[in-house]
Structure 1
Amino acid sequence: MDRYAWKAIVHEGKLQEYKKRHDEIWPEMKSVLKAAGIRNYTIWNVGNELFGYYECEKGAGYAAEVQGKSPVVAKWNEYMKDVMIMVMDPKTGAQPKLEQVFFLE
């Protein structure tokens, strides 16, 4: 199983709105993520910085491909633009993957 980590920035004063939107995440968005094989998806913040992590049952490439082709994900990303900054990978259409530098199993 692949692991995937990403980072982003929340606009100043928008953290509570960011959290609210995730508390109310669309059921169809959850469905796309599950169809992409994404599990154990967690997002943390420190100040205005976000760190996201998930595991990909079908591989990170598959998860990125499903998200990149999904109109639901595109709609979600548009919806979130006013509360956060995230530069998407132009090749995959997903969040740029952080490089793993350490792993303890």
Structure 2
Amino acid sequence: MITHAFTMQLKPGFEEEYKRRHDAIWPELQELLAESGIEEYYIYLHEQTGTLFAFQKLMAGHTTASLPEHPVVKKWWNYMADIMNTHPDHSPVENRLKEVFRLDTK
């Protein structure tokens, strides 16, 4: 299993709206993420700074690299662009994180 970790930035004052939108995630987006090999996806909010910390557990052979070209993903990005930092194409500004420690007790 591959772990992909990154941060994003929420605009001030949109904490509740961000959660509301994700609580009502579109079924077609949820299905697409699962089909691409995302087995688990977590997003945490640092309330003082608006930093979003996210990580995904990816299955071997995942196809997540093609997600940015999918119309449903582009539609979601447009939907979220007003409340977070984005690129001109409305994709979220992601800061990839490098793993520096892992403890596996299994």
Q: Normalized against structure 2, the TM-score is what?
A: 0.82
- Kindly indicate which of the two structures has a greater share of residues assigned to helix: 1
Q: Which residue of 2 aligns with 1:78?
A: 78
- Work out the percentage of aligned pairs sharing the same amino acid: 34
Count of matched residue positions in the alignment of Structure 1 and Structure 2: 99
Unpaired runs of at least 5, structure 1: none
Alpha-carbon contact 1:36-1:58 (below 8 Å) kept:
no
AA partner of residue 34 (structure 2): K
Q: Which residue of 2 aligns with 1:98?
A: 97
Q: Normalized against structure 1, the TM-score is what?
A: 0.83
Quick check: which has more Rg, 1 or 2? 2
Unpaired runs of at least 5, structure 2: none
RMSD: 2.2
Q: Which residue of 1 aligns with 2:53?
A: 51
Q: Which residue of 1 aligns with 2:14?
A: 14
Displaced runs of 4 or more, over 6 A:
none
